[in-house]
Amino acid sequence: MDSKDCPPGPLVTMCVPVYNHEGFVEASIKSIVAQTYKNIELIIIDDGSTDGSAEVVSRFLEQCEARFTRFKFVSRPNKGLSATLNDALQWASGTYFSALASDDILYPDKTAVLVEHMLGNPDCVASFGSVSLIDDDGVERGVRKRGGKYQFDEVFLLRAELPAPASMVVLQAILDAGGYNPDVKIEDWDMWTRLTKGNNKFVEVLPLVLAKYRMHPGNTMKQLDLVHNGLLMVAEQHRDHPLYDRVQCVLSCVRFRNLASVRKTEAIHLLRKLLVNFHSYSEPRFYQGILHLLFRW
């Protein structure tokens, strides 16, 4: 569609990468339509879904054309999440960029709150709200609510919980970082480290619940391995950093915690190595893993 007369405030680009979320994508789109902030351009990219996701999106085309400053819907063969986000960046013209997974949901004031925060904090390269946790039926199962400012060291050491569904990032900063790396599976942590490395920029989490993050049933063994390998790949890009060895310990503690309740033999083997690394004793995930090892069966 052609640009309309722009409402007040900077343009915000929102992207919904869709993949096999036929039962959830309607709620995600409706939550963007319902944003109280008006100056939004929306791109929805169906990344080769094999279910009816594209058909669900098609029912909202007319409404989205009328609601958004600019709107585009693309349905194409599967490329993967990072490639999909890069496709969106090529079309984006906003000051800020937000991606929303097609199974997550925004609260109506999410965009307005984060735009106001970003405008008042020029060194903040990305801001985040807190999130509520919902299950497949949309029932709330918990809340992750916290606040804090973080620079590279805290982000690299996984001390910053940065909820992707409630994010807003300076678009030009993403472009300057080279966009998303299609070879990396943990694309969010990779991006947050690259945005904050070697500068005085920070990311900030606000203690305001601005999105609903859908928690699907427990990770499979294959997923645990994929996540760990993905984290290692991101860390490897910063091998030259003084914190690299410590981050290796952090990632081992994360793996120990994740294995402790489902693959106890492997967890015990990893525990032996962690016990002789003094960095382990300052990591909360190390103690969480011990509790899981002892009490979760």
Domains annotated for the chain, with CATH where assigned, are: 12-214 (3.90.550.10), 221-295 (no CATH)
Over residues 218-251, the pLDDT tens digits come to: 545 678 899 999 999 999 999 999 999 999 999 9
Question: CA-to-CA distance for 116 and 95, rounded, in angstroms?
Answer: 13
Please report the pLDDT score of residue 8 as a whole number. 82
Over residues 30-72, the pLDDT tens digits come to: 999 999 999 999 999 999 999 999 999 999 999 999 999 999 9
Question: CA-to-CA distance for 292 and 193, rounded, in angstroms?
Answer: 29
pTM: 0.91
Over residues 147-173, the pLDDT tens digits come to: 999 999 999 999 999 999 999 999 999
